[in-house]
Chain A
Amino acid sequence: MGGVWSIAVYTFREGIRKKTLIGFLILSIMVIFGSQFMTAFLTTSSDTTGQSELDVKLIKDICVTAISIFGMLITIFVSASVVPNEVENKVVYTVLSKPVRRFQYLLGKFLGVQIIIIVNLALMGGLFFFALYLKEQVAPTLLLWSILLTYFQFLIVSAFTFAISCTSTSSVLPTIGGLFIYITGNLTEYLKDVYDRSGQTESTIDWIIGQSAYRLWQVLPNLQYFNLKDQILYLSVNDHPRDAMIPQLILYGFVYGVAGYLMSYWIFRRKEL
């Protein structure tokens, strides 16, 4: 399995040099860094204590949103492009002509993508952690939990975007697919609503729609489970997350991540390159 690790490291080294990724990372860092100054323009309270609390809340809001948006863009962009790019520039030919099985190649690429996501998340999260620590003078441990869960959210989106990329020869379709997964993954609760409301009429079409929505709700990942934004905004920065079953969520993210990887292998194993 040494080959898998070599492919992962190569993927990471190549991935972090991509201009789009660097651009997103710089933008996110600028937003996190700039949030410290933005509060001065956005709040005008005369109450100093209230002003300070509002500042912190704004900083948290801006930073959590920036990490979520830019992190997701990086995740989708990287997951969508690594395999199609290697097919296009023929690196995949030289790699698969070596004693490397297709599942090993894909596992290496997938792990490489995960390292890129983790390093980016650590950079953005680390900066936010530092900014918050300077404001509050206590270690914002709640933020660490949030970043951990955000990674598992990204893992799910990354795994399914990666699977779509194995069907494609360019990164455009998987990028669109990744965005779709992210959006639907955040709206799965609405599917449950659709199911609950469908029982209110006797219509067959309503019943079919309700059942379809229910099945989708059962199958699709619910990315909202990983969202601790409200707790970060309203709890103390060093509180323990409430009502969030961290181990179960980690397992949940891991299972979907593995499912996405297996799907990508199922697509790639007989793919004509």
Chain B
Amino acid sequence: MSAVIETNKLCKIYEGARRGQDVNALNDLTIAVQEKEIFGYLGPNGSGKTTTIKMLLGLIFPSSGTMKIMGSEDIGLPQIKRKIGYLPEGAYYPDFLKGEEILRFYGQLYGLRGKDLERRIDETLEIVGMTRARKRLLRGYSKGMRQRIGLAQALMSDPQVLILDEPTTGLDPVARKEMRDLLVRLRSEGKSLMISSHELLEVELISDRVGILYEGVLQTMGTVNELLTDRDLSVDVTGVTENSVNSLAEKGIVVEDRIDGRARLRVAQTLSLYDAMEILKAHNLAVVSVAPRRETLEELFVRIVGDAKAKKEGKK
């Protein structure tokens, strides 16, 4: 596998109005998005995700460092841009146009004309499942349909790389699932996807690798399996009382879910299985099952961002 997007020590400094007011938006970012993978690009608001994407698209310019798309450093070349599809977050599409007219406009920007253009419109509408709504004005579209049309415009040149900024934000659960399935299908068709998102569950479900950014610094990057390790234990017990809940928490055992006397406990990795069983026995709890508990992407995200925040505050 080769990288379709590469950045090397990429930095972006937004100059302030006065000296000392410069904002270091991105610091020595080195990432690579591989061929035929979904790369989840995560970070809290203002962490530098959109700045990275804008630089990759040539909308803003790096202060230092290099970028390559499909092996080329000249990312502004038309033949390179033809290979990239981009869906911005919350983009506007004019209400007075029909779905197919939007695609006709964007197709023309790729230099498509006549039968080639019409054929590509048909294909793209089919891919995003909007063929039946193609003649409807955008003002009659739901949010999910608008997002699909947005994705369709990104797919008009049949690009090898898709850069998607918050593709599922604001969608209802059904539309979100449909969008997720669509993205997985695009990967299976050989496309590479870089997805910037706040929807951590969505990213966890479909990403091959993730990178977490905080205040312009890449905190971690790796495959989902590498990063989401079995850190704690999940123990189902019976006989839980109000008193035992408080007492267990003091010893590093957290009640995650509880219905009457039954509960699912999370045992921190600092406790050995033997110690945990001793504690539960001391509280007169009957163990129903014990299983390794994999950390969720959300928990990893919160932990990494929390650590980075604490480190920064410690430095101050």
Taking beta carbons and an 8 Å cutoff, which residues of A are in contact with B?
2-3, 6-7, 10, 13-14, 17, 89-91, 93-101, 270, 272-273
Tally chain B residues at the interface, Cβ within 8 Å.
32
User: CB of B110 within 8 A of chain A?
Assistant: yes
User: What's the A-B contact tally at a CB cutoff of 8 Å?
Assistant: 69
Chain A residue nearest to B76 (CB atoms) is A101
**Complex Cα spacing A95 to B107, Å:** 11
User: By the criterion CB–CB under 8 Å, are B91 and A273 in contact?
Assistant: no
15 A–B contacts from the bound complex (CB under 8 Å): A2-B108, A6-B109, A13-B94, A14-B94, A14-B96, A89-B92, A90-B89, A90-B92, A91-B93, A93-B59, A93-B86, A95-B109, A99-B78, A100-B109, A273-B60
**Complex Cα spacing A100 to B107, Å:** 12
User: By the criterion CB–CB under 8 Å, are B57 and A99 in contact?
Assistant: no
Give the 3 A-B residue pairs with the shortest CB-CB distance, closest first: A99-B78, A89-B92, A6-B108
CB distance from A36 to the nearest CB of B (A): 34
User: By the criterion CB–CB under 8 Å, are A98 and B106 in contact?
Assistant: yes
Partner among B59, B90, B91, B110 whose Cβ is within 8 Å of the Cβ of A98: B110
User: By the criterion CB–CB under 8 Å, are B91 and A90 in contact?
Assistant: yes
- Residues 83 to 100 of chain B near chain A (Cβ within 8 Å): 84, 86, 88-94, 96-97
User: By the criterion CB–CB under 8 Å, are B91 and A99 in contact?
Assistant: no
Partner among A7, A95, A99 whose Cβ is within 8 Å of the Cβ of B111: A99
Cβ contacts under 8 Å, A99 to chain B:
78-79, 81-82, 109-111
Chain B residue nearest to A96 (CB atoms) is B59
**Complex Cα spacing A213 to B16, Å:** 35
**Complex Cα spacing A100 to B57, Å:** 12
**Complex Cα spacing A89 to B90, Å:** 8
**Complex Cα spacing A48 to B303, Å:** 92
Taking beta carbons and an 8 Å cutoff, which residues of B are in contact with A?
54, 57-61, 76, 78-79, 81-82, 84, 86, 88-94, 96-97, 105-106, 108-111, 113, 153-154, 157
* Majority SS at the chain B contact face: loop
Cβ contacts under 8 Å, B54 to chain A:
93, 273
Chain B residue nearest to A98 (CB atoms) is B109
Cβ contacts under 8 Å, A272 to chain B:
59-61
CB distance from A1 to the nearest CB of B (A): 10
Knowing A6-B108, A13-B96 are in contact, say whether A94-B91 is a contact too (CB < 8 A).
yes
CB distance from A92 to the nearest CB of B (A): 8
User: By the criterion CB–CB under 8 Å, are B108 and A270 in contact?
Assistant: no
User: By the criterion CB–CB under 8 Å, are B58 and A96 in contact?
Assistant: yes
CB distance from A109 to the nearest CB of B (A): 13
Give 16 A-B pairs besides A99-B110, A273-B60 with Cβ atoms closer than 8 angstroms: A3-B108, A3-B109, A3-B111, A6-B109, A10-B105, A13-B96, A14-B94, A89-B91, A90-B90, A93-B54, A93-B57, A93-B86, A94-B153, A95-B109, A98-B109, A101-B76
CB distance from B294 to the nearest CB of A (A): 37
Chain B residue nearest to A273 (CB atoms) is B59
Chain A residue nearest to B57 (CB atoms) is A97
**Complex Cα spacing A115 to B78, Å:** 27
**Complex Cα spacing A190 to B111, Å:** 50
User: By the criterion CB–CB under 8 Å, are B113 and A2 in contact?
Assistant: yes
Cβ contacts under 8 Å, A6 to chain B:
105, 108-109
CB distance from A200 to the nearest CB of B (A): 44
User: By the criterion CB–CB under 8 Å, are A97 and B108 in contact?
Assistant: no
**Complex Cα spacing A172 to B93, Å:** 23
Cβ contacts under 8 Å, A94 to chain B:
86, 88, 91, 106, 153-154
